[in-house]
Structure 1
Amino acid sequence: MRIDRIFARLDREPEPPEIAVPGMSRTRKVLFGSTVAFYIAIVWLVLVSSWLVLLDWKVMLFRPYEQWPEVHAFLDYFVVLGQRGPTAVMIAAWLGWRSWRQHTLRPLLVMAASLLLLNITVGAVKVGLGRLGPHYATEIGSAELFLGGDIFPSGHTANAVVTWGILAYLATTPRARRWLSVISATVALSVGATTVYLGTHWLSDVLLGWAAGLLILLALPWVEPTIGRAEAYLFELRDRWRARRTPAPAAPGPVEPVSPVVVPSIRPLSDAAAAREAVGAGGGRYASTRPAQHLPAPAHLAPRPHTSRPERAPVTPVGSRRPPQARGGNGAHAPHPAR
């Protein structure tokens, strides 16, 4: 299957260097505490309809989209960088490639954990406060709370801080972390300001959105142990799935018993006994000798019928062996010459 080829290709990638996981340092704790205080202060100023609410109304009545209409078309597309769906797809593609090269699921799991925390925290405050947006405001100078709205804090702004800030959080070198921090901060601030320009959010919505997203990024080191356990569990599931997909070797069948082969014992014979058996089989002087019964006679020593001498083929050519000059004219022997 295709997923098997993907895992095989992943296993052939070179092992990456050791990646340092950010810890909850003292500086990070101070920043986290300061951001929490800023978050609470924004919520309190909106609840009591303070000067911040009046500033919201002044900016809304200024109508920035009417003051600079020439950038309206561009900012309509630019604000997409804060929408959860498109940004999640873009960032997930990059982090998926990082996971492939580094043999780890941590980048994708960090993104998933961040978006989960973002949806829970921001969504709970949105529904709990129920603030209406500028286009649906009913009373000038009112905070428009608990009226069934869902814009406080700004989801676009918080999502831009988290999704683009993850790139800086997962950077493996100090230089890359600095550059990505600047880029992600610029995108997050620009997306928040764009929502105010378009009139879809109050200024206080954007301020709280920046704080909400920053709190998620600062709290990620506390979530790292859970992410590590989740990664180990997913790799264990992968190994189990591989074990089930790999065909088991065929079990050997039952072994049939083999009947023993009886090998006849061969008793060595002496040369004399072997000669007697051979001659006896031929019918000579030892014709009466009883042939051996434990082994069959060889084919070239098999008994043949005994023939009489006249029936036998001559073994010498016809005529005398002496040369012709040794005989007389009538065939008599010539006398030997006198010596």
Structure 2
Amino acid sequence: MKNIKKIIIVFTIIIVSVVLIRYVYNYSNNSNIGYKGSLPKVGAAIYKYDDEFMSYIRNSMEDASYGKIALIMNDSQNDENIQLMQIDEMISKGVCALAINLVNPKAAQIVIDKAKAWDLPVIFFNKEPDASVLNSYNKAWFVGTDSKESGILQGKMIVDLWNQNKSKWDKNHDGKISYVLLKGEPGHPDAKARSKYALDEIRKAGIPVEKLDEATAMWDAAKAKEKMDGWISKYNNKIEFVISNNDVMALGAIDSLEKNGYLSGNKFIPVVGIDAIPDAIKKIKEGKMVGTILNDANIQGKAIIDLVTNAAKGKNVFNGTSWRGNSDKSVRIHYVIIIKDNIDEAEQAYK
């Protein structure tokens, strides 16, 4: 009987020792706990790395996270299923919080359900979830912009530029802006708002518009170039303005226009975008693009990291920051009109 008790005690000691050794090993290798050294682990996912604008947000996040959190970054490759698997994996690695740029905004509830099951805070960014979904979890917030504002400012910019250059740009002298519109992905809130409010603002200023054509180019330069090639062939010299939901598509349109002998002399066609990415700034300087709207990726990246760092540490997300939350559980970064006259403002944002 005594021997059996001794065996049980020895066996118990062995099990406890193995558990302790495993815990120490896990701690030193940071595989299944919430901290890497003294820094809380935070899981982040970008809907796709090769989206140029999102690459600037990602760079800003990585810079801002240094010394604050251990950031685990993922490329979701524009695939909802891949992103959801990545979230599961990050949770299994013991992250303290999540920062998610959704592939599909309609999947926000699934992400919240996953986070809620582990009592994890989640900061959504860039692609905004539905308000009812965001409000369903007290540990969920959104960092981004007001899509309506970008459309309004783009519309105001077009009005000002058109009024200054009407004699040159109004090819048939009918007083109307005959335009083509490059739209982002279908159903994306930014694409819908930018398209609607830009045109609403032009009409509000009393300038009639004529839509020659519009097409979805999925925020992509190559797709935009292909659409623009077709429009040039179809409408010849009737196009008086190219309105793009973002700079990347605007750059694709410019590539097409340049190769077809436009953007000089009396064949000039004004092109506007949104984001003020460095390549667009360069084209504005060269006189091949007339304007854009600064969507400050650097500021957004800093705001995301500030909020998710506090969340990961169990603090109020605004603790010690300059950010102020809105009633819709968001932090909104304001847009700025960029034309050649104030190009330095955009350059400073990406410096």
Shorter-normalised TM range: under 0.3
Larger Rg: 1
Q: Which has the larger share of helix?
A: 1
Q: Report the TM-score, using the length of structure 1 for normalisation.
A: 0.26
Q: Which has the larger share of strand?
A: 2
Q: Report the TM-score, using the length of structure 2 for normalisation.
A: 0.25
